[in-house]
Amino acid sequence: MDRLLVVGAGPKAMAVAAKAHVLRTLGLPAPDVTVVEPHAVGGNWLATGGWTDGRHQLGTSPEKDLGFPYHSTWARGHNQAINEAMMAFSWSSFLVERGTYAEWVDRGRPSPQHNVWAKYLQWVARKIDLDLVAGSVRKISAAADGWLVTVADADGVTSEIDADQLMITGPGNSGRALADHPKVLSIAEFWDLAGKRKLPVSSRAAVIGGGETAGSAMDELVRHDVLTVSVISPGATIYTRGESYFENSLFSDPAKWRALSIDERRDVMRRCDRGVFSVRVQESLLADNRVHHLQGRVVRVAEQGDGVSLTLRNDLRPDQQHNFDLVVDATGGQALWFLDLFDADAADLVELAIGGPITQARLEASMGHDLAVDGLDAKLYLPNLAGLAQGPGFPNLSCLGQLSDRVLATTATSPVAVNAEPARSGRP
Ligand SMILES: Cc1cc2nc3c(=O)[nH]c(=O)nc-3n(C[C@H](O)[C@H](O)[C@H](O)COP(=O)(O)OP(=O)(O)OC[C@H]3O[C@@H](n4cnc5c(N)ncnc54)[C@H](O)[C@@H]3O)c2cc1C
């Protein structure tokens, strides 16, 4: 049986591993899923991952869990059984098993703190007996019929794993900052200091970035001793995430996405996904008169007395300088962080498949229906880059059940195996 190796034990890995477990339980073909993770299952939702202190709330509903939207399209005749089996790994099943389901409903179904979301992922990992390798992926090489993945454990001891297919998840490193300056904090440094209540006292603080990472950082910063907090982003404003049925349904159900033009798709993503704070974060920030928005791209960071001066650039205006005594770089993940892991031969293979030097735009355009790079013999799944081509929900938590269907469908190569079992209901 094929081995699918997943880099990082976040929600995407768990969605795929749980679905593969369900398929096997139903007697259907699925690869062996191995997940490599240096911290813990759900590591980026805990303080140790450097993206949160674990105490902030999930922006989306936890009911958008590993099986959501429970509308499997994996194989006709089996989809209803797959949906039912995936319910065993749902957020509500987790609460039922913990004995807190009724309380959660009675409290109005609140979004959990990030660390509780990690506990949910860990609960699923235990239930499916996840094949978890504790370590960090250090190198990815091309092998005869797949990938050779070098993993370093906590002591730096390396081992190699052969994989037929590879899936990359997560945003990369949280320790990166715009400048090497004591008053410019990476998001990991920010959460580390905030957790220890050791953030430097500041009169003028700035958070660079307009996404979920910046939203959580702002939410935290206003609880500390600051006179003003400016959020800096290139957009004219920070939008509130559209949460209407029409907007949400494009995220939950990617079927309609391919019918939209590229301009329409970019428009939806701009409005709903990039440069937006969740309704809850916006509400808590709007009430605070210390919070302001500054438009522009930061193009220069310079020492300025005890703090730093940031130069902001906007297309139709002269550059502006603003001084701060604390800056948090919350620009979020690097889309192509994983390329540092690829050796020259592996990178060459990808270049050949996408028809030129590796750029984000080329990779995004090459994402196939299965969320893998088109034209590569050995599957390389990059769901974080599949938003534009396949659906805006694939990079985030909006349709993890669809994501696992798409990734695992390619292994359903044998029509005999797929069609052998009679349909359990009349529904597709
Ligand atoms: C603060 C914050 C809040 C967010 N809230 C939401 C939300 O409410 N709703 C939503 O839809 N999206 C949210 N997001 C976006 C979120 O990152 C994604 O939706 C989701 O976590 C992506 O899941 P994932 O499985 O790709 O990655 P992650 O959950 O980020 O997991 C990646 C894993 O990879 C591991 N890893 C890193 N490097 C290596 C390596 N070299 N080898 C092996 N493992 C490695 C990490 O330790 C980590 O555990 C939020 C992001 C942030 C930063």
**CA distance to 44, 84, 270, 371, 390, per residue, from 297 (Å):** 27, 47, 16, 31, 28
Quick one: what percent of the chain has pLDDT higher than 70? 95
Pocket lining for ligand 1, CB < 6 angstroms = 7-13, 36-39, 43-44, 49, 51-52, 58-60, 136-137, 169-171, 212-213, 216, 384, 396-398
27 & 149 share domain: yes
State whether 119 and 204 are in the same domain. Answer: no
Tell me, in angstroms, the distance from the centre of ligand 1 to residue 166's CA: 17
For 253, the token pair is 């159900």
Nearest-angstrom CA–CA distance, 223 and 170: 28
Nearest atom of ligand 1 to the alpha carbon of 169: 26
Residue 243 within a domain: no
Residue 414, pLDDT > 50, answer: no
pLDDT band at 279, cuts 50/70/90? confident
Q: Long-range contact list for 386-390, CB < 8 A, 24+ apart?
A: 387/269, 387/273, 388/262, 388/265, 388/266, 388/269, 388/364, 389/364, 389/365, 390/254, 390/257, 390/258
Amino acid 238: pLDDT:
81
From the CA of 137, give the closest atom in ligand 1.
Answer: 42
Give the closest residue (by CA) to ligand 1 atom 11.
397
Is 145 part of any domain? yes
Question: At residue 66, does pLDDT exceed 70?
Answer: yes
The residue whose CB lies within 8 Å of the most ligand 1 atoms, and thus the one to mutate among 397, 398, 400, is 397
Q: What is the mean pLDDT of residues 229-235?
A: 92
What value does the mean pLDDT take over residues 11-40?
A: 97
Of 286, 308, 329, the residue at which a domain comes to its end is 329
- Calculate how far, in angstroms, residue 33's C-alpha sits from the geometric centre of ligand 1: 18
Q: Whose CA is nearest to atom 7 of ligand 1?
A: 59
DSSP 114-165: HHHHHHHHHHHHHHTT-EEEESEEEEEEEETTEEEEEEE-TTS-EEEEEESE
Residues 212, 146 share a domain: no
pLDDT by residue (tens digit) across 354-371?
999 999 999 999 999 999
**Do residues 82 and 159 both lie within one domain?**
yes
Give the pLDDT score at 246.
Answer: 85
Domain that holds residue 395: 3-172+333-419
Task: Please name the helix (run of DSSP H) or strand (run of DSSP E) that holds residue 265, with its range, or none.
Answer: helix 262-272
Whole-number pLDDT of residue 263 = 93
**Whether residue 145 is found in the same domain as residue 234:** no
Domain count, the chain: 2
* Boundary residue ending a domain (302, 329, 356): 329
Task: Report d(CA 386, CA 90) in Å as an integer.
Answer: 24
Q: Are residues 320 and 193 both part of a single domain? A: yes
Nearest residue (by CA) to ligand 1, atom 29, is 10
296 with 368, same domain: the answer is: no
- Give the nearest ligand 1 atom to 11 CA: 25
Centre of ligand 1 to C-alpha 42, Å, is 8
- Residue whose Cα lies nearest atom 8 of ligand 1: it is 59
- Is residue 216 classed exposed, middle or buried when 0-12, 13-18 and 19+ CB atoms within 10 A define those classes? buried
- Look at the block and give the residue holding tokens 């604390």: 326
Give the C-alpha separation, 311 to 346, whole Å.
Answer: 38
Of 156-170, 192-206, 378-392, the poorest mean pLDDT is in 192-206
Closest approach atom of ligand 1 to CA 64: 11
b/e sequence 289-326, b meaning 16+ C-beta within 10 Å: eebeebbbebeebeeeeebbebebeeeeeeeeebebbb
* Ligand 1 atom at minimal distance to the Cα of residue 13: 25
Token pair 């509400």 is at which residue?
283
Mean pLDDT of the chain: 91
Give SS3 for 378: coil
| Residue 65 counted as domain residue | yes
Ligand 1 probe mutation, 169, 279, 331, 402, most atoms within 8 A of CB: 169
171-195 pLDDT per residue, tens: 999 999 999 998 999 999 999 999 8
Give the residue, by CA position, lying nearest to ligand 1 atom 44.
8
The DSSP letter of residue 95 is H
Q: Which residue, of 298, 313, 329, is where some domain finishes?
A: 329
Q: What is the mean pLDDT of residues 289-305?
A: 93
Query: Does residue 254 form part of some domain?
Result: no
Task: Give φ, ψ of 381 to 5 degrees.
Answer: -85, 125
Same domain, 339 and 324: no
Please compute the mean of the pLDDT values over residues 15-25 and round it to a whole number: 98
Give the C-alpha separation, 390 to 373, whole Å: 12
pLDDT tens string 315-332: 999 999 999 999 999 998
pLDDT of residue 1: 66
CA–CA gap between residue 143 and residue 139 (Å, rounded): 12
Compute the average pLDDT of residues 213-219: 90
Q: Which of 34, 44, 45, 342 to mutate to test the pocket of ligand 1 (most atoms within 8 A of CB)?
A: 44
Of 195 and 16, the one with more pLDDT: 16
**Are both 316 and 390 inside the same structural domain?**
no
345 by Cβ neighbours in 10 Å (0-12 / 13-18 / 19+) ranks as: exposed
Q: Extract the tokens encoding 333.
A: 């993940």
- CA gap 324, 206 in Å, rounded: 7
In percent, the amount of the chain with pLDDT more than 90 equals 75
Q: CATH number, domain at 234?
A: 3.50.50.60
Based on the fold, state whether residues 72 and 210 are members of the same structural domain: no
Residues 8/152, Cβ–Cβ less than 8 Å: no
User: Residue 78 Cα, ligand 1 centroid: separation in angstroms?
Assistant: 30
The answer to whether residue 262 is domain-embedded is no
The Cα-based distances of 28 to 58, 70, 72, 262 in angstroms read 33, 18, 14, 36
Whether residues 74 and 7 share a domain: the answer is: yes
Distance (Å) from CA 302 to ligand 1 centroid: 31
Average pLDDT over residues 399-412: 88
Instruction: Give per-residue pLDDT as tens, 45-55.
Output: 999 899 999 99
CA distance 211 to 229: 16
Q: Tell whether the model's pLDDT for residue 271 goes beyond 90.
A: no
The whole-number pLDDT of residue 267 equals 87
CA of 136, closest atom in ligand 1: 42
Question: 3-state DSSP call for residue 70?
Answer: coil
SS3 423: coil
pLDDT band at residue 284 under the 50/70/90 scheme: confident
Is the domain of 49 the same as that of 156? yes
Q: Is 23 a member of any domain?
A: yes
Asked if the model's pLDDT at residue 417 lies above 50, the reply is: no
